[in-house]
Structure 1
Amino acid sequence: MAGQTKILLVDDHQLILEGILSYLKDIDGLEIETANSCDEAFSKIKSSLSVNPFHIVFTDLSFDNQNKNVVLDGGEAFIKSILKEEIPIKVGVITGHSETNRIFNVIHNLNPSAYILKGKCSTDELTFAIQKMLKGEVYYTHEIHQKLLKRALVEIQMDDIAIQILKELPKHAKISNLEGLIKKSDGSLIKVRSIESKLSKLRTDLQANNNTDLVLKAKELGIID
């Protein structure tokens, strides 16, 4: 990498920071600092802006926050503050969170330049990610990319009726109770036979064993809350 790249690592577990540092130490041209909280990290980024600004920040999403006076209580709040103040820094996520819904919300709402899983982290992956980020490109760990792709494919198959059924299903003991609740776009009601047929197709599409499993998989994919 040409020139010196200044990187800030943010995690509340020192062992995690040391692990990531051990991967980064083999990459030439990096100047690395660490922070154990989002408040500390945001302060470092702000104070360095006029002197020697950071090019990249890698942050976890979840923090223990034992200090009650904390302002930025997690990675999402931290990234939002960076975006709100339009600070010119590339933001990457290094986290253990691999839930599809969490991944989708972070990427869709915060648009980080990288999303890397702690358990899959390596010198080669970080080198590649940093190179992509400095070019203004995006890098996601393969597993993250696959989960986003799967969610997108499932979402294509979802229509308004399917979403209604999946949202209502956990609230009722019997499928027949859904009749009169599920409506077409023109306001007409869906009969129970059509609801059962739709559920059968959804179970096939999401490879669910039963309706309970179907709802769990829909939540994991972030299709319903």
Structure 2
Amino acid sequence: MENIVRILMIDDHPMIIEGYQNTLLGNKKEGNYELDISIANTCDQAFEKIKSSASSATPFDVLFIDINLPPSSNGTITSGVDLAVHAKRLLPDAKIIILTMHNEDFRIHNVLKNADPDGFLIKSDLTSEELILAFNSIMSGTPYYSSTVNNHFRKRIKNNFTLDEKNIKILYHLSRGVKTKNLTNYIGLSLSAIEKRKSQIKELFDIAEGDDEALLGEARKRGFI
């Protein structure tokens, strides 16, 4: 009896899903396995399919999840990361592959921390060959990360310290052009606490007297943004 790999592809761009489908179906080796591919374009559609699959005798084996998705109608699932967290709870044996256009270190860190996917692919890295390589690797039990994600790991390893989530958020929002005085709207700390954290980060970076431009430059070199 032939093996069947049941896949759910979740992306709000039908042409992207079509490209994934054609790549995987075109790579199917005769006598190896059959692919049964389902599609969802929103968080609501995906969550319903995931819930239905969880109670099925033949649940999904692999989920391809884009990060940028229309949120659920009740507002509880706002992105593919949220969806991946639900999927891991409802389908613990399924392989989760995250795909995104976002390549900022803060976003990569957030996905790895919250979703802990089996595969993490940055779309700008992606070719048909790499998609096949990633799929085959993950199906054999080996996690796969595209080059931008691996660079994120390498930059973090070079540092002999880590920054907590609030410090990383400070750097991220500063890098997006938010003024220090307005960071309280994004981080949930008082302005004095934010200023203190900025000073601590500068000391860690050995630029205690540096301005925000120097802080962000060093943060980029070290892979924190």
| TM-score normalized by the length of structure 1 | 0.69
Q: CA deviation at 1:213?
A: 4.5
Relative to 1, partners in 2 of residues 1:6 and 1:101: Cα closer, same or farther, differing over 3 Å?
A: same
- Letter of the 1:104 counterpart: H
- Letter of the 1:214 counterpart: L
88-97 or 76-85: bigger deviation: 76-85
Give the counterpart of 2:65 among 59, 62, 72: 59
- Unmatched 5+ stretches in structure 2: 29-33, 182-191
Q: CA deviation at 1:215?
A: 2.3
Map 1:25-174 to 2 at 5 A: 25-28=25-28, 29-49=34-54, 50-65=56-71, 68-85=73-90, 87-154=92-159, 156=160, 171=180
Q: CA deviation at 1:129?
A: 1.4
Relative to 1, partners in 2 of residues 1:43 and 1:182: Cα closer, same or farther, differing over 3 Å?
A: closer
Residue of structure 2 in register with 1:13 after alignment? 13
Deviations 1:39-64 (A, max 9, x none): 21122122133232111001011123
Q: Partners of 1:10 and 1:114 in 2: how far apart?
A: 14
- Letter of the 2:216 counterpart: V
2:220 corresponds to 1:215: no
- Extract structure 1 runs of 4+ deviating beyond 6 A: 219-222
- Unmatched 5+ stretches in structure 1: 173-177, 184-189, 204-209
- Letter of the 1:14 counterpart: P
Q: Partners of 1:96 and 1:200 in 2: how far apart?
A: 34
Residue of structure 2 in register with 1:175 after alignment? none
Give the counterpart of 1:199 among 203, 207, 210: 207
Report the number of matched residues: 194
Q: CA deviation at 1:200?
A: 7.1
Greater Cα radius of gyration, structure 1 or 2: 1
Q: Partners of 1:196 and 1:90 in 2: how far apart?
A: 38
1:79–1:110 Cα contact (<8 Å) kept: yes
Q: CA deviation at 1:76?
A: 1.2
| TM-score normalized by the length of structure 2 | 0.69
1:100–1:221 Cα contact (<8 Å) kept: no
- Letter of the 1:199 counterpart: I
Q: CA RMSD in A?
A: 3.8
Q: Partners of 1:69 and 1:216 in 2: how far apart?
A: 40
1:7–1:33 Cα contact (<8 Å) kept: yes
Other structure's SS at 2:58 match? coil
1:38–1:74 Cα contact (<8 Å) kept: yes
125-134 or 111-120: bigger deviation: 125-134
Q: CA deviation at 1:113?
A: 0.3
Residue of structure 2 in register with 1:187 after alignment? none
Q: Partners of 1:112 and 1:159 in 2: how far apart?
A: 22
